[in-house]
Amino acid sequence: MSLFSIFTNCNNYDMENKCALCELKSAATRKLSPAELDKLSANCLTVRFKKGDSIIKEGTFSTNVAYLKEGLVKIHIEGPHRTQLLRIVKPASYLALPTTFGDKINHYSVTAIEESVVCFIDVTLFRKLLISNPQFTNQILVELCKGELDSYYNCVNRTQKQIRGKLAELLLDFADNIYNSGEFVISLNQEDIGNLIDASRESVSRTMSEFARDNIIELKGKSVKILDKSRLNYINKSG
């Protein structure tokens, strides 16, 4: 199946994508030559997704590399008892490199939790670029290694921290890495938050209320404002 035939019935794609002019290129793509960027443009499709739209579906055939340019997405996988939320991903990031190159089948799903823009790159061309351009390949390896290290770190925190420590870490991650602000609106519901940190929805709700009562954060619906970052850091570190 060709890259463009996948989105034949989609009204939110851009076939006039010009990678050389894009200001949201990945660190790896910035290592490509003008000729390679032209090839990438000819084999790249930009698609806009609404909140809740499925971007990559677990169990489907993988023919493209997905690159998140704008928005926010969640990566999740079907477990033996329930769907497990693995991580939240912000731009600019490749979304499915391990599953794309590890097998021909997608091993996890990606869903938009905010309006998102994703570039789909033909995997055959992507493989050719990995072979022909060592600097491009090096940057891809850096991203893969960083993702693996993050997975190890998250696994340790999930198993060894208590709910207060895990939730404090998540709020700090939202502030420092996802939204780059001490005031933000969480795009996840409390059940998803609990799934992400291995806690029940009730525990998340109770702990968020405790943080608000102790004037660590201010809550207004899904809006969060961090009032005492030093205390939140202490809770995170003490676990």
138 and 190 inside one domain: no
How many domains does the structure of the chain reveal?
Answer: 2
Residue found under tokens 């060894």: 160
Whether 156 is covered by a domain: the verdict is: no
Last residue within a domain, chosen from 129, 150, 171: 150
Last residue within a domain, chosen from 119, 150, 181: 150
Last residue within a domain, chosen from 150, 179, 198: 150
136 and 173 inside one domain: no
Instruction: For residue 172, give Cα distances in angstroms to 41, 89, 104, 235, 236.
Output: 37, 15, 36, 11, 9
Residue found under tokens 């939140």: 232
Task: Return the pLDDT at 6.
Answer: 45
Task: Return the pLDDT at 83.
Answer: 82
Residues in the chain: 239
48 and 110 inside one domain: yes
105 and 59 inside one domain: yes
Task: Return the pLDDT at 1.
Answer: 40
229 and 119 inside one domain: no
Q: Which domain holds residue 70?
A: 4-150
Helices and strands in the chain, H and E counts? 8, 12
Spatial CA neighbour of 74 closest among 223, 195, 204: 195
- The pTM (predicted TM-score) of the whole model is 0.81
Confidence check: pLDDT of 3 > 70: no
**Between residues 19 and 123, the one the model is more confident about:** 123
DSSP at 41: H
Whether 165 is covered by a domain: the verdict is: yes
183 and 224 inside one domain: yes
| Distance (Å, whole) CA 110 – CA 30 | 25
190 and 124 inside one domain: no
Contact partners, residue 56, CB within 8 Å, separation at least 6: 66, 95, 96, 106, 108, 109, 110
Confidence check: pLDDT of 153 > 90: no
Q: How many CA atoms lie within 13 A of 59 on its CB side?
A: 4
| Distance (Å, whole) CA 82 – CA 84 | 6
Spatial CA neighbour of 232 closest among 183, 174, 165, 179: 165
Task: Return the pLDDT at 10.
Answer: 43
